[in-house]
Amino acid sequence: MTRIDAKFAELNAAGKKAFVAYVMAGDPDYDTSLEIVKGLPGAGVDIIELGLPFTDPMADGPTIQLAGQRALDGGMTLQKTLDLAAEFRKADDTTPIVLMGYYNPIYSRGVEAFLTDAKAAGIDGLIVVDLPPEEDSELCIPAQAAGMNFIRLATPTTDGKRLPKVLQNTSGFVYYVSITGITGAAEAEATDVGPEVTRIKASTDLPVIVGFGINTPEKAQNIASVADGAVVGSAIVSQIGAGKSTTEVLEFVKSLADGAHRA
């Protein structure tokens, strides 16, 4: 059982929904980023999504693209991202960390070396948005063999024919993208999301967590009420990008987590 599996078992037993927070590793700099990540569990975050900075993101809107650029400009690398996770693990051995990014930096390092190092750093799961199920032998299956969850995205355009393929080797949870388009581009609506979550859950026992387009505590509550939890990324990253203090960022995160936990 991974930390992700254990977290959902714990939440389920307590009758609670999950709150997942995304931050870009190294944004605005390594030290501030580490301080924010260390503060997320205390702000009510159940699972941390740690963005891996990459030069050519395809699913990210301007807010997260700029965060990645700030991180890269500050010298952030795959190794430093793993170092940040390892540093976090020194004080927290229970909060799951999902590394979210693109395949190129992983491929450049070599899959075997990456999985060994990521596991040692305390990474629990991977979301690699540009590796479709047809490429499962590249990273998904080796990751599962190494004891890491491989989390797949489902979207409004994932129809009944495609869904079984998407779910085939997915573990940990299913990440449902609530809108068509990039991060931060539109707002999620529970009336649209609810039936889609029900459709996905008819084909899997995995929790379904909804992300994209969630930017307020009320929205987090509404979306979590029709799913197993909510993910917020751009709204948090925009606070960091605006130069808010770590305390202010974490207060905002807590308001979102409280919203999701009210669902």
Catalytic residues: 49, 60
- State both tokens at 206: 């995995």
Torsion angle of the four alpha carbons 44, 50, 55, 59, in this order, in degrees rounded to the nearest 10: -70
CA distance 254 to 256: 5
Helix ranges (DSSP H) in the chain: 3-14, 30-39, 62-73, 78-89, 103-109, 111-121, 140-145, 163-167, 190-201, 217-225, 234-241, 246-262
161 secondary structure, DSSP code:
T
Measure Cα distances from 84 to 76, 118, 222 in Å.
10, 11, 32
CA distance 256 to 210: 14
Q: 114-135 burial, b if ≥16 CB within 10 A, otherwise e?
A: bbebbeebbbbbbbbbebeeee
Q: Which amino acid is at 77?
A: T
Q: Are 23 and 70 in contact (CB under 8 A)?
A: no
Triad 138, 141, 146: Cα angle to 5° = 110
